[in-house]
Amino acid sequence: MERLKLALVHLDVVHGEAGRNRDELVLFNERAAENGARIIVNTELAVSGYSFGSRDEIACLVESQEGPTVTALRQVASRYGCFIVLGYPEKDERTDIYYNAAAVIGPDGALLLNYRKVTAEVRWACAGTSFQRNSFETPWGRVGVLICSDTYYGAIPRMSSLNGVDLLLVPANWPGGSLDPRELWQVRAKENGFFLAACNRSGKDKTMSCEDAYSCIYGPDGTKILESCSCTSDIFFADLPLEGGKLPSCRETQLRSREPSLYTPMYLDMRYAADLTSYYKLPEAAKMSVASRSFPAEELFTGDRLEETVDAYSGEKTALLVLPAGIAGDNEDVLNRLALAARKSQVNVCTGVVSEKDGSTVIAFAEKNGNLSLRSKKYGQHCFIDLDNARIALAFKDELYHPEMVIACAKQGCDLIVCSASCLNDHDQRVLGARSIEQTGLAVSGNNRAFICQPPEGHYRWAEVSAKNGEGCSVTLDIERLRQKTFYDRLDYGLLLRKQ
């Protein structure tokens, strides 16, 4: 079987010692090339180290695209005929602006592109533009580059996927902690259908330890190919499969279900929407109890089971109950029962109804007053429902594989997205959980698992409760906090909203 050999230079970067780091980079890149690596990825800011509090602190370490480190690695690339990606602190000689940059060097030693981190360090670095070129052609397919936290917001890797990237390379400086980058990188590979290779680092920086930092490679289906860390400098190798000499990405399949017409509100400028409640005339925010229940699909709509399940959550304790999608023998009867159960138990209820005829699913939402709302993919439009204290949206599982969908909902004041599905796997839970980064909560139910996620605070992982195999989970959401949304808007909306 044809293979493409990648090398990740997991360097023990010594803070502030550019000469020492440069010598190590040359040595380890030569070793990687001698061992057959055709693409070599180095860590973020591999020359300087990471933590700097001002321009003055890093001024003696920045260098131009023609500087000593890029020049030295250009010689390595041309000598061995390989591609090299180098993370370094760049100084633009024309403007004296500093950037956190990644140079991409071709096998002839030419500088193919110089990518500047978009989510840059605010104390010293200028953010790169969202319109800059970040991909290049190789014999094996189109390869893209992002730097570390550029992968945090789902729309930034999505732009690379829309630009045809089959393999995303990520120089990183991301230590272990509450938000494990391995989980996030696996999500980005899966939801975009491309290979993702992240080169992290080792050692102790000025303000952090990276001895538990992992370098990783994931396949386009989310499969783990490599997850490795080291307390000292090391090189991690991996062979990626090729088909007909090309990387077999799933990008086109993953992007096929996109509906750009649903995403248009994502471009809205929310800088002046400090109070979303008054801005959108939303229901007055208050704490709201939400429950999500897993349930075998073949049982949910059998006899009186639906009404019994809803009744178990009756009373003031649960404001919203999310149930999985079940097969209905008589859709009209099920919907009537759902509305009746919601009104009787005074609980807002969401469930999916799967047609026995063609397998299509409708998401049904019954309010506690008996009002019934239905959402079908056939009509391709958002469905927002204002409850007593929150605005919710209904969404299908595959829609939530697209960050654009969630950003659009959040920018229209959505507090919580509700999803009723059939079977859910581990990838589904990770991907949909990561959607909360886009500034909304999610309550998801399937017949084998259920979970509720809330947006992360600071650099922590999103909050999540979950249950499996017929069990349920619940949480009390602080809707006021959910309305304190901060959006990342340095995006190419023309690309993200372009019709397919």
| Catalytic center residues | 44, 117, 148
**Measured between alpha carbons, how far is 483 from 496 in angstroms, rounded to an integer?**
24
**Measured between alpha carbons, how far is 343 from 14 in angstroms, rounded to an integer?**
64
- Are 433 and 419 within 8 A, CB to CB? no
> Could you report how far apart the first and last alpha carbons of the chain are, in Å?
34
**Measured between alpha carbons, how far is 262 from 374 in angstroms, rounded to an integer?**
17
- Are 147 and 172 within 8 A, CB to CB? yes
Of 303, 299, 350, 349, the C-alpha closest to 327 is 299
**Measured between alpha carbons, how far is 86 from 47 in angstroms, rounded to an integer?**
9
3-state DSSP assignment of residue 483: coil
Place of tokens 């939400």: 290
Residue type, 474: S
**Measured between alpha carbons, how far is 451 from 463 in angstroms, rounded to an integer?**
10
- Backbone Cα Rg of the chain: 25
Question: Backbone phi, then psi, for 480, in 5-degree steps?
Answer: -60, -40
Q: What is the DSSP secondary structure assignment for residue 50, as one 8-state letter?
A: S
The DSSP secondary structure of 253-287, one letter per residue, reads HHHTT--HHHHGGGG---TT-S-HHHHTTPPPP-E
- Are 349 and 372 within 8 A, CB to CB? no
Dig out the tokens for 74 from the structure. 């250009």
Phi/psi-derived region of residue 125, left when phi > 0, alpha when psi is between -120 and 50, beta in every other case: beta
- At 433, which helix (H) or strand (E)? helix 426-434
H helical segments located in 3-129: 18-34, 55-58, 68-80
- Are 115 and 100 within 8 A, CB to CB? no
Measured between alpha carbons, how far is residue 63 from residues 18, 205, 263, 320 in Å? 10, 20, 40, 56
Identify the bridge partners of residue 327 per DSSP, sorted by sequence position: 354
- Are 404 and 440 within 8 A, CB to CB? no
Taking residue 453's Cβ as centre, other Cβ atoms within 10 Å add up to: 26
| 447 exposure class (CB count in 10 Å sphere: 0-12, 13-18, 19+) | buried
Instruction: List Cβ neighbours of 385 (8 Å cut-off, separation of 6 or more).
Output: 365, 367, 373, 391, 392, 393, 394
